[in-house]
Amino acid sequence: MTRERLQKVLARAGVASRRKAEELIRQGRVTVNGAVATVGDKADPDRDAIKVNGKGLGAPPVLRYLLLNKPAGFITSRSDPEGRKTVFDLVAPRHRSNVEAVGRLDYQSEGLLVLTNDGELAQRIAHPRYGCKKTYLAKVKGRPGPEALARLRRGMVLDGHKTAPAKVKPAAPRGRRQAKENSWWTVEIAEGRTRQIREMFYRIGHPVQRLRRVAIGPVEDAKLPVGSYRELTPAEVVALRDK
C-alpha cells in the first residue's frame, strides 16, 4: 500500500472520522514508528508502526454498512440521559456493536440513516464539502407562496450563517390527497444543520408537521419498512464514495 495522509489511514482503520483523527494527531496521541505524528504526515499501515494512545491499529476491521429506516420517537445518539429510545435499539446486537450513525435525524423526524464503522465514508456523507445531498419529504402547515419558496431556494440566515441554496418542489405522497390546510414538499439540501429544514419552513411561517428523509445521495429505498434495516449493497457503497 502507498503512503497516505495519516488521518485517512486512521479513518479507514475505523479509529475515528478524518476530522476526529486530526484532533488525535494534534493532541500528540498518535505515533508513527515511535515518533509523535503531526497533521500532514503520511504513513503506510503495511510498513509503518502506527499507534494511537500507545496501542497499535491491529488488523483492519470488517467494514459494515447498514441502511436504517428511522421511525419518529427515536434519537440517533447511542445513549440518552433522558432514557429515550435510540436507533441502536432497532439494530441486532451483533450488528450495532461497532457502527455509528452518520449525521442526525431529530427525535420526531423519520427516514433513512446510514450506520457504519467506515470513518472515511462517514466523512464523505456528512461533511458539506463533499456535496452528498439529502432529500426529504416535508408536510407543512399551509401552502407557501412564491416569495416564501424563493427564500428557501436561495438560502436564508440561520444562527448567523446563510444556508446553501435548497431545491424545493411540490410533492404529493402516493395514495394521499393534498388537504387545504397543509401541503407536501420535496426538499434537497447538502448541509444538514441541526433541525435545518424545520427552522427554514418555520421562518417563512409554515411549520413542519412531518419530516422524512427519503434519500442519502444516490441511495433510496421506498420499500424498507419503518423501523427496519438492511445491509447496503456494494454498488450503493461505491455510489456513496463517488458522490
Residues near 40 by Cβ (< 8 Å), separated by ≥ 6?
5
Cell of 89: 435499539
Active site residue 118: no
DSSP at 24: H
15: left (phi over 0), alpha (psi -120 to 50) or beta: alpha
Catalytic residue among 106, 159, 221, 242, which? 106
Q: How far is CA 19 from CA 22, 106, 169, 212, in A?
A: 5, 23, 34, 28
Q: Smallest Cα–Cα separation from 212: which of 118, 72, 32?
A: 72
Contact criterion met (CB below 8 Å) for 154 and 203: no
Cα dihedral 73, 79, 83, 89 sign: positive
Q: Smallest Cα–Cα separation from 97: which of 66, 72, 138?
A: 66
CA 51 from centroid of its chain's CA atoms: 28
Q: How far is CA 205 from CA 22, 143, 201, in A?
A: 41, 10, 6
Q: Which residues are designated catalytic?
A: 106
